[in-house]
Amino acid sequence: MTAVDLMPAADDDNNKQSSTGLLHHHQLPAAADNAILHNTRHPFISTTLANSFFNRSISARVIHSSICRRLEGKVAIVTGGSRGIGEAIVRAFVHHGALVVVADIDDAGGHALAAALGPHACTYVHCDVAEEADVERAVATTLEQHGRLDVLCNNAGVLGRQTRGTKSIASLDAAEFARVLRVNALGAALGMKHAARAMVPRRSGSIVSVASVAGVLGGLGPHAYTASKHALVGLTKNAACELGEHGIRVNCISPFGVATPMLVNAWRQGQGGDHADEDQAAASEEEEVEKMEEMVRRLATLKGPTLRAGDIAEAAVFLASDESRYVSGHNLVVDGGVTTSRNVIGL
């Protein structure tokens, strides 16, 4: 088992700023159901794996909330929202009544998602979160379209290269380290900056960032990724201190390993050093996802459920909604108890 096995979904060194997942089913008109919940598009993985992963997410359980539209009328930006966990968050937000702007560098995926959800609910804007001009433009576009910004979800992130030769601190690639922090930490900071400028005059808003268990406990990720996620957790707490004065809540979510296709691909990269395991190479993509999910279930203190992207989306809905109106500066860890305890005495 390698460090990347434990990472929440994030992209590899191709600079794609999202991860992979989907939302669960809920009561909607049939046409909206199909548009929001049955999209199996994924430009970077096989259709078979996408279908299998998405269908599992949909059928895993049905959301039965007494509050059907928990984000009714709210305007939200989701960075890295074209696919993966970001896509799951976008679909959850739309499902609960939000007007969502997807901000990503995956133009084809972003336009396709916006078209699937409909222009009344979702639009797309190109945005590289590591470029301040892009972030500023995304916020400005949202204000032009909707007149306000209620929610920013900083989901965009990269995992970094995962070859065995780059994992040791003694082999640290300074340029790669800087690149990961520029996207994961600076990108979130820029999002907070420009979201705050839009939210402060209204004295209201919620900023939610997707961090990682790697920002809670050592040994759960590569050095650059771990440093970037620790930075994001700290930034969340500091920004909450400042922006609370203006009625703005700032929180983050730290997932454990969501066995998404992108995480599986990163795991393959990490295992593909000197010798690839023949059995692993021969196994189907779906089998690899199953193996990773089983590993996560085994490591989790909480037994029974399997962590999926929809769980992270539901956490984001909670922190974006008025249900969490007195929650700020909080890191909501969604990890099945992995970072809280180790049963060393056989309880």
CA–CA separation, 250 and 99 (whole Å)? 20
CA distance 258 to 256: 6
Domain count, the chain: 1
- What token pair was written down for 282? 């021969």
Residue 114 forms part of a structural domain: yes
pLDDT bucket at 22, cuts 50 / 70 / 90: very low
- Considering the entire predicted model, what is its pTM? 0.79
Residue 250: CB partners within 8 Å, gap ≥ 6? 192, 206, 207, 236, 239, 240, 243, 244, 328, 329
Residue type at 290 in one-letter notation: E
96-153 confidence digits (pLDDT tens): 999 999 999 999 999 999 999 999 999 999 999 999 999 999 999 999 999 999 999 9
What is the C-alpha separation between 338 and 254, in angstroms, rounded? Answer: 11
Residue 339 lies in a domain: no
Which pLDDT does position 32 carry in this prediction? 46
Kindly report the backbone phi and psi dihedral angles of residue 344, in degrees, each rounded to the nearest multiple of 5, phi listed first. -85, -15
- AA identity, residue 13: D
79: Cβ–Cβ under 8 A, 6 or more apart, which residues? 17, 86, 103, 104, 127, 129, 138, 152, 153, 154, 155, 156, 187, 191
Check pLDDT > 90 for residue 68: no
Q: Is the pLDDT of residue 26 over 50?
A: no
The answer on pLDDT for 60 being more than 90 is: no
Range of the domain at 31: 3-334
Nearest residue to 139 (alpha-carbon basis) of 120, 157, 125:
125
Question: Are the C-beta atoms of 138 and 77 separated by less than 8 Å?
Answer: yes
pLDDT digits (tens, 9 = 90+) for 175-186: 999 999 999 999
Domain membership flag for residue 316: yes
List, for residues 257-277, the tens digit of each pLDDT value.
887 766 777 666 665 544 445
| 343 pLDDT tier (thresholds 50, 70, 90) | confident
pLDDT digits (tens, 9 = 90+) for 286-300: 788 888 888 888 888
In-domain check, residue 303: yes
- Looking at the DSSP assignment, which residues form a beta bridge with residue 126? 104
What CA–CA distance (Å, rounded) separates 256 from 214? 8
Considering the domain boundaries, does residue 49 fall inside one? Answer: yes
198-216 pLDDT per residue, tens = 999 999 999 999 999 999 9
Residue 131: count other Cβ atoms within 10 Å of its Cβ: 15
Query: Which residues are known catalytic residues?
Result: 225
Rounded Cα distance between 81 and 103, Å, is: 6
Domain assignment present for 346: no
d(CA 92, CA 314): 7
Ramachandran sector of residue 63 (left: φ over 0; alpha: ψ -120 to 50; beta: rest): beta
Q: How far apart are CA 32 and CA 52, in angstroms?
A: 21
Report d(CA 228, CA 154) in Å as an integer.
13
Residue 102 lies in a domain: yes
CATH number, domain at 124? 3.40.50.720
pLDDT at 342: 80
Q: Is residue 344 in a domain?
A: no
Distance between CA atoms of 67 and 193, rounded to whole angstroms?
A: 31
- Residue 213 corresponds to which tokens in the numbers above? 């268990």
Percent of the chain with pLDDT over 70: 73
Q: Please state, in angstroms and rounded to a whole number, the distance separating the CA atoms of residues 84 and 42.
A: 9
Average pLDDT, the chain: 82
